[in-house]
Amino acid sequence: MIDLDAIEARANAATPGPWTYHEGCGYVEVPPCGAIEFKPGWERSVHFLARVHNNHVEGEDGLGFDGAFIAAARTDVPALIARVRELETHLRIERENVAELEERLVLCQRTNDRMREQLGHKPPPWGMNK
């Protein structure tokens, strides 16, 4: 079972996006996230999360798949969590609908049995009336 709450907590605790992958240098850049020690002369508006070395394959456009995946995860993970929660809600509603329909079917079968009994009909021998 996937713990969506734990995944969502980690996603919410991560540096807000958007994250960007720079293919030329292999860095995944995130927006500034608070008090960071910068060396003199470094740009204070940029924070590098990771440097991706030796991407297993380079795309035809030169974009490294690993770096692009890491950068996209910042927005992909929350979107996937939201979609899973939406589908879980739909599933719960449909299960409730099925349970309600099953209850109605039982009531209809009981009504049918009572009506047959009142009319003097016996249930068919092939077991259609359960």
Q: What percent of the chain has pLDDT over 70?
A: 68
| Spans of the chain below 70 pLDDT | 32-48, 51, 53-64, 122-130
Three-class secondary structure assignment of the chain:
CCCHHHHHHHHHHCCCCCCEEECCCCEEEECCCCCCCCCCCCCCCCEEEEECCCCCCECCCCCEHHHHHHHHHHHHHHHHHHHHHHHHHHHHHHHHHHHHHHHHHHHHHHHHHHHHHHHCCCCCCCCCCC
**pTM confidence score:** 0.65
